[in-house]
A and B are shown apart, each in its own frame.
Chain A
Amino acid sequence: MLNRIAKGLMLVTGVALALPVAAAPTNAELKIGISQEFETMNPLIMTMSASAYMYRMVGRSLVNLTPEGKWVPQLAKEIPSLEKGTAKIIDEGGKKKITAVWEIVESAKWGDGKPVICEDFITSRMIATSPTVSVGEKEQWTQVEKIEIDPKNPKKCTFKYEKAKWDFYQLAQFFPVPTHLEKPIFDKYNKQKEGYEKNSNYVRAATNPGLYNGPYVISEVKLGSHVSFSPNPYFYGKKPNIQKIIVKLIPNTGTMEANLRSGTIDMISTLGLDFDQALAFDKKAKAEKLAYDVHFVPSVTYEHIDLKLDNPVLKDVRVRKALVYSINREDLVKALFEGKQQVAIHNVSPKDPWYTADPGMITLYRYSKREAGKLLDEAGWKMGADGYRAKDGKRLSLNFQTTAGNKTRELVQVYLQNQWKQAGIEVLVKNEPARVFFGDTMSKRKFEGLALFAWVSSPENSPRSTVSGKAIPTAANGWSGQNFHGWSNPQVEKNLDALDLEFDAKKRAALVHQILKAYTDEVPVVPLYYRSDISVTPKSLKNYKMSGHQFYETNNVEDWNLN
């Protein structure tokens, strides 16, 4: 009996090993795996990254940021500018404002053949600024004070901005919605709390092609499962090559690889694998000569440690500097990430035109245990016989928090804890679930020492929300703002205000570099590394370009080709 079972098992194993892997995908269909949940794709209220990833396949905005970091027109014919005279600074009651003329591409149409017109932007603005609609950040809509349509051309309009800011043209999230479909819903339900959101076509009739103006339209949506896309016959740009795209939710990243290898999915999006899983799969793909490419692209995500400056120990800048000097970040990224993520020196990533590594402009900290020891000695923290530093009989001890269960961060913590121990600094790890960490500890500034997490920004984005003294969360401001460390510098405040109004790109960069100088001098934050975005694609996929910023690769989905 046992012999028979053993033979049976051997036969099954033999058959298993002999079977081929899944067939290569073609332009007929591409199945993409994501591990993050998505919501309904109403561009005015969606907040999830997975929804934004998918929306870029079906919806286009006036402008777009290329993977190279350049703003280019998308639905607009061109980007208005002061130089060309298509934008003007005006004075209204002593207040400087901007007017800009936008013209929508002639052939831009919704998926039902109706033209995309300026009225669609007015409808978007009206819905998004309604008090009954739960749009998170209103400023992106209220920054445009008024939209006036050219009476002769419904595709041409003048936007009046409430402030004369240099980045007035960066309206990538200012998505239009089809007036002919969404305005009647809004008119009917706008008096009810969240009435529009509940009854919008994006919820009730999400497969109506008239809701979308991108290269694809949505043909099927199952929340928690998948979204199917088919080409939009009225798309104004290049016809997409792939006839059907399915984005499939696989919530367990551990089974993502099995799904890929079994052919359940053909590729893994940037919202799929964890970094360590990608590293392991990369090795496996090379060793087994699998027909997949694993992409690692530097991104604008900045992994760092916020230092609570109210902490009496961390108030002393020498201690903060010693914390940076005593960790070998080059070694960290080599050991943990095989060099596939870059060491961070400040909060502006190398993807950003404002990035600088010039030691003449910012303060750089190379790993130096000696320098760390010197600074700590100067600050009065003397090395004790137990291997830890102490002052006035009190040990140099700090609490270190991050999101519990995040394997990469927990590894980084252990690595840093060990290095700080060598410098005589005791670091106690007190992690919390992400829900508590972000929902309470950080947002209400309850952390006591060090807090490890990441910021996602975009190129040429003002760092105001994380470095301005006005952005320190307090009960009085409803705990808004994300200057959790509590750093405040009068010169930085001035530069932040000047930055918004500076139209000269070189002068803007100079202002940012001054901010970075103060940031690296005063060390409110320990920069660790800039994260890389990861994805896995079939080798046959051409024209696939990852951006590394929030304008996902789906922005040029029409160029993807599997032939």
Chain B
Amino acid sequence: MTTFITRRILQTLAVIVILSYVCYYLMSLMPGDPVDMMVASNPKITAEDVQRLKALYGLDQPVYKRFGNWVGSISQGDLGYSRTYRVPVQELMGPRLWNTFILSIASLTLSLLIAIPLGVISALKPGSRTDYVVNLFSFAGISIPSFWLAIVLIIIFAVKIPLLPAGGTQTIGGEPLGFWADLADRSVYLVLPVLSLSIQQIGRFSRFTRSAMLEAMRNDFIRTARAKGLSRSRVIWKHAFRNALIPLITILALSFSGLFSGAILTETVFAYQGVGKLVYDSIIQNDYNVAMISFVISVSMVLLMNLVADIAYGFADPRISYQ
């Protein structure tokens, strides 16, 4: 097991470095560098200004050298400087990553808490009225675009019935009222974005759970367990659900890998100060340092969560071994 994990971590590191270079190179192929963008917006920038800025930003160097410099800075703990926002990257991204994490984990948790029981109930009574209602809800959830739902939620709960804020991350300008009051304040701002994100996820997860559970319930060992006189809940949760976990772990691992990537549409519509729009803007504006850090985080999360999933398979199914 230890050898397996060590080998996978080393592979992960190698993949991160290779993919980072590929991404850096691809970004450099995008038309217009940051100085070109500056020239496009300011008619008074001269040829001398262009030359000076390109040298200052290192844009006159070949891509591999720029990448080398970037890796060198990262290895010294310096994540670089955002040329769009004029602040160090860690200061820019830190709070936003945290906000995105809170939003993503809250919606993922809510989705799982609702979707798994719904999926199981639906699978236990296939073809029943409950199954139809759950399916209807799931398909509706999957089909409704989250940005549209977000706007509808704002109109209903912020404009027509002003119960919740239309957007933002927390109340601006208020005096700090202590941990619990601040937590309550932030939670109020999370309700609508979490709801808008969760409805789609609930639909997706409940469909996966239903399908995995249906498959598991058809197995011979379920019949055997029932014949042995085990209780219904023990048959469902200990025998069927554990076997249904394998496909669910894969889906969950993929979902967890997106925890820091941000939900760009939801964050934009709710003016939620997350990382999604920041990453989009940084790519569009060629803000290399911000874009690359977010890329490294995304790649690392995907690889890490896949490793976690591989390990979790072994716990869910003891027949899987690591060699």
Given contacts A29-B173, A137-B49, A264-B167, contact A479 B39 (CB under 8 A): yes
Given contacts A19-B161, A47-B41, contact A479 B50 (CB under 8 A): yes
The answer to whether B32 touches A438, judged by C-beta atoms less than 8 angstroms apart, is yes
Q: What would 18 more interface pairs be, CB under 8 Å, given A194-B56, A203-B86, A438-B41?
A: A22-B162, A45-B86, A136-B38, A137-B45, A203-B87, A220-B173, A228-B172, A252-B268, A255-B151, A255-B167, A255-B270, A258-B159, A262-B165, A435-B30, A436-B32, A440-B32, A441-B31, A482-B43
Q: Which among B41, B44, B48 has the greatest number of chain A C-beta atoms within 10 A?
A: B44
Measured CB to CB, the closest approach of chain A to B134, in angstroms, equals: 16
Q: Is B16 an interface residue (CB 8 A)?
A: no
The answer to whether A480 touches B49, judged by C-beta atoms less than 8 angstroms apart, is yes
Q: Is B232 an interface residue (CB 8 A)?
A: no
The answer to whether A465 touches B173, judged by C-beta atoms less than 8 angstroms apart, is no
CA distance A248 to B56 in the complex (A): 33
Measured CB to CB, the closest approach of chain B to A264, in angstroms, equals: 4
Q: Is A42 an interface residue (CB 8 A)?
A: yes
The answer to whether A134 touches B83, judged by C-beta atoms less than 8 angstroms apart, is yes
Q: What are the interface flags for A167-194 relative to B under an 8 Å C-beta threshold, 1 for contact and 0 otherwise?
A: 0000000000000000000000000011
Q: Is A401 an interface residue (CB 8 A)?
A: no
- The residue that A136 contacts in the complex, of B45, B166, B281, with Cβ under 8 A, is B45
CA distance A16 to B157 in the complex (A): 9
B residues near A (Cβ < 8 Å) are: 30-33, 36-54, 56-57, 81, 83-88, 91-92, 95-96, 151, 154-156, 158-162, 165-169, 172-173, 268-271, 273, 277-278, 281, 284-286
Measured CB to CB, the closest approach of chain B to A230, in angstroms, equals: 9
CA distance A404 to B252 in the complex (A): 36
Residues of B within 8 A of A29 (CB): 173
Given contacts A137-B42, A479-B39, contact A224 B30 (CB under 8 A): no
CA distance A258 to B91 in the complex (A): 31
Measured CB to CB, the closest approach of chain A to B121, in angstroms, equals: 18
Closest to B84 in A: A39
Measured CB to CB, the closest approach of chain B to A148, in angstroms, equals: 26
Measured CB to CB, the closest approach of chain A to B70, in angstroms, equals: 13
Measured CB to CB, the closest approach of chain B to A123, in angstroms, equals: 18
The answer to whether A132 touches B56, judged by C-beta atoms less than 8 angstroms apart, is yes
The answer to whether A478 touches B31, judged by C-beta atoms less than 8 angstroms apart, is no
CA distance A258 to B42 in the complex (A): 34
The answer to whether A435 touches B42, judged by C-beta atoms less than 8 angstroms apart, is no
Residues of B within 8 A of A12 (CB): 161
The answer to whether B40 touches A465, judged by C-beta atoms less than 8 angstroms apart, is no
CA distance A25 to B281 in the complex (A): 33
The answer to whether B36 touches A439, judged by C-beta atoms less than 8 angstroms apart, is yes
The answer to whether A131 touches B172, judged by C-beta atoms less than 8 angstroms apart, is no
Residues of B within 8 A of A224 (CB): 96, 273, 277-278
Nearest 5 A/B pairs, CB to CB:
A439-B32, A440-B31, A465-B43, A16-B160, A478-B50
Q: Is A345 an interface residue (CB 8 A)?
A: no
Measured CB to CB, the closest approach of chain B to A138, in angstroms, equals: 6
Given contacts A438-B32, A438-B40, contact A40 B86 (CB under 8 A): yes
- The residue that B51 contacts in the complex, of A16, A435, A478, with Cβ under 8 A, is A478
Given contacts A248-B168, A466-B43, contact A258 B158 (CB under 8 A): yes
- Tell me which residues from 141 to 170 in chain A have a Cβ below 8 Å from any Cβ of chain B: none
The answer to whether B168 touches A15, judged by C-beta atoms less than 8 angstroms apart, is no
The answer to whether A480 touches B46, judged by C-beta atoms less than 8 angstroms apart, is yes
Q: Which among B37, B39, B271, B284 has the greatest number of chain A C-beta atoms within 10 A?
A: B271
The answer to whether A139 touches B47, judged by C-beta atoms less than 8 angstroms apart, is no
Closest to A434 in B: B284
CA distance A16 to B163 in the complex (A): 10
Residues of A within 8 A of B52 (CB): 131, 138
Residues of B within 8 A of A259 (CB): 158, 166-167, 271
Residues of A within 8 A of B159 (CB): 258, 261-262
Closest to B169 in A: A225
Measured CB to CB, the closest approach of chain A to B244, in angstroms, equals: 31
Q: Which among B30, B38, B43 has the greatest number of chain A C-beta atoms within 10 A?
A: B43
- The residue that B85 contacts in the complex, of A132, A223, A258, A477, with Cβ under 8 A, is A223
Q: Is A120 an interface residue (CB 8 A)?
A: no
7 A-B residue pairs with Cβ-Cβ distance under 8 Å, sorted by A, are A19-B161, A134-B57, A224-B96, A438-B37, A443-B39, A465-B44, A480-B45
Closest to A38 in B: B85
